[in-house]
């Protein structure tokens, strides 16, 4: 096997590894999004209400809950506070 063939095999292997990692990451993102939506619905909160409490648009929260946007530390913290307010209310 010559150097070019070896490099091509390594690149192909790396591409496969990257695709696998991206797929696993996407699955985790979708699981997290589903968990967030299910938790909100279980708390009997509307998407608009939670988005308002978080200080983001309803469309942004919808995208997060469908896995079309990435959760950041800031959005997770805001989401947690928005849900905690519901528990504190009588």
* Per-residue pLDDT in tens (0 to 9) along the chain, 90 residues: 677 787 777 777 877 877 888 888 888 889 999 999 999 999 999 999 999 999 999 999 999 999 999 899 999 999 999 998 755 555
What's the rounded Cα separation, in Å, for the pair 1 and 90? 73
> C-alpha dihedral over 56, 58, 62, 63, to 10 degrees?
-50
> By the 8 A CB rule, do 53 and 81 touch?
yes
Closest CA to 45 of 2, 15, 85: 85
pLDDT score at 37: 95
Structure tokens, 87: 């528990």
**pTM greater than the 0.85 cutoff:** no
């Amino acid at each position: 096997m010559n150097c070019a063939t070896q490099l091509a095999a390594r690149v192909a292997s790396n591409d496969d590894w990257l695709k696998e990692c991206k797929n696993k990451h996407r699955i985790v993102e979708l699981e997290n999004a589903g968990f967030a939506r299910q938790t909100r619905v279980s708390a009997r909160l509307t998407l608009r209400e939670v988005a308002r409490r978080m200080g983001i648009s309803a469309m942004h929260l919808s995208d997060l809950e469908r896995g079309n946007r990435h959760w950041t530390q800031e959005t997770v913290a805001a989401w947690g506070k928005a849900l905690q307010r519901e528990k504190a209310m009588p």
